Structure 1
Amino acid sequence: MPDADGSRSFVQSLARGLAVLRAFDADHPELTLPEIAQRADVSRAAARRFALTLAELGYMASDDGRVFRLTPAVLQLGYAFLASQPEAKLLQARVAELAREVGEHTAACVLDGDDVRYVASVRSDRLVSLELQVGSRLPAYVTAMGRVLLGELPDAELDAYLRRARLERLTEVTTTDPDLVREAVRRAHADGYAVIVQELDPGLKALAMPARRPDGSVAAALNISMRTGIGRSREQERDELLTFLPALRACAAAVEADLAAAGR
């Protein structure tokens, strides 16, 4: 595991410990030491030391010393962020209202490195292909929220992102050409919203737009995600998404009013 920037202040053991925690996810709730080593990109000996240390601290548990799992204590790490971010509570309340109105999965995301990170989410029983909840992250280039957030970057920063990001083809229609991604991002910025259809997942479409603070900066991108229909064209799916634009705009306006009232 390389240093982030070669800095002498970089604590590699801390980075490796966090990588061990991130090795677990919805698809890998339990891992053996060799699996931890592979997913965290550390040696087996290091995986064992980190696993036993994290278990001693209460963040991991094992019944037999071979297979490990995370414990609820890990939630303290994420809650510390949420508790320190009043905006997250405000966003959760508003996307919950939006979910009740539209009956679909709703969320709010911020840009986190080259990904979008969910800071508020209300799931829908109709959207089961992806586990999208608070703390989840997805590649920015291929999500509606990501394109909205990337659209706020200066040209030089967007160009740097497109040079370093891995633009992988996740479906048959994923946009991976850097110039086309840039075009989609700039279009989202000009339109004030972004639409994706089947680029992240063959059965998924999404609509997103920004919610701004009083100073004009983006607090988060708001999103509605839903399943695609059977036998429908991508144009038809896009047209259906746009019928939800008034509801999403109203949600963004409500968030912005809340932020203004809170003096944020």
Structure 2
Amino acid sequence: MESSSPPADTNRASTAEGLRFAFGTLTVLPVRVARWDRAAARTGMVCAPLVGLVVGLVAAAVGAVLLWCGASPLLAAVAAVAVPAVLTRGLHLDGLADVADGLGSGRPAEEALRVMKQSDIGPFGVITLVFTLLGQVAAVAALYGQGWAWGAVGAVASAVVARGALTLASREGVPAARPEGLGAAVAETVPFGAALGVAGCCVAVPAAGSAAVAGSAGQVVGAAAGAVLGLCAAEVLLRRCVRRFGGVTGDVFGAVAEVAACGTLVVLAVL
């Protein structure tokens, strides 16, 4: 279907304004959004991985403290996975469930979008949430089983890559499915080159984290591969949603973030 998006804003937004936009829209932190326009959205979505860095560090700290207090790797993993959900009001998980229901409905684009806007969660959404959260917890528990530092690498890497997927989903050429909502506000705001640069930085984060905890060359490469494959999984879902719904919505953004996080964690745990 054809979709429209807000007109481009030729004004520039400062880094501070972009960070306010990013933290104000992507977390529950009490940050006042100074500007709500295309320029602020552009800078904010480029800065989205920095939000992931903060969220990931908080998650890593909570998990590490529990381990130091004698908790099992499984309990620490549950807490580490819960932190991003709490700091985002569960919006990304809600988006994942809504997208699963929309894709699973088998209805035309307009009807599928209406299914996604409903407040309840259908069977496709429930099943997707259960397996995604189980996968994340199991992967983080496996990493914590190798030590708190590896669990921290997983928590930070998955959060950063998840927000990097949001930057890629905001790039030029990916339209909004609706003329209103967060999806329309940020769709097609990020230049393609900037999106690729952000993706490269997101790949470097887990590689650097692995190297910092004295990982071997193979582990460093595996950590980078986890980020790449996480972003690839998010890209596959993004393209499917664009074909199915005609573009992106706020729910699609949440879904690609959760898929990127889960994909990154699973690959890190395996490799």
Provide the TM-score with structure 1 as the length reference.
Answer: 0.29
Provide the TM-score with structure 2 as the length reference.
Answer: 0.28
* Structure with the larger helix share: 2
Q: Which has the higher contact order (CA 8 A, sep 6+)?
A: 2
Q: In terms of Rg, which structure is larger?
A: 1
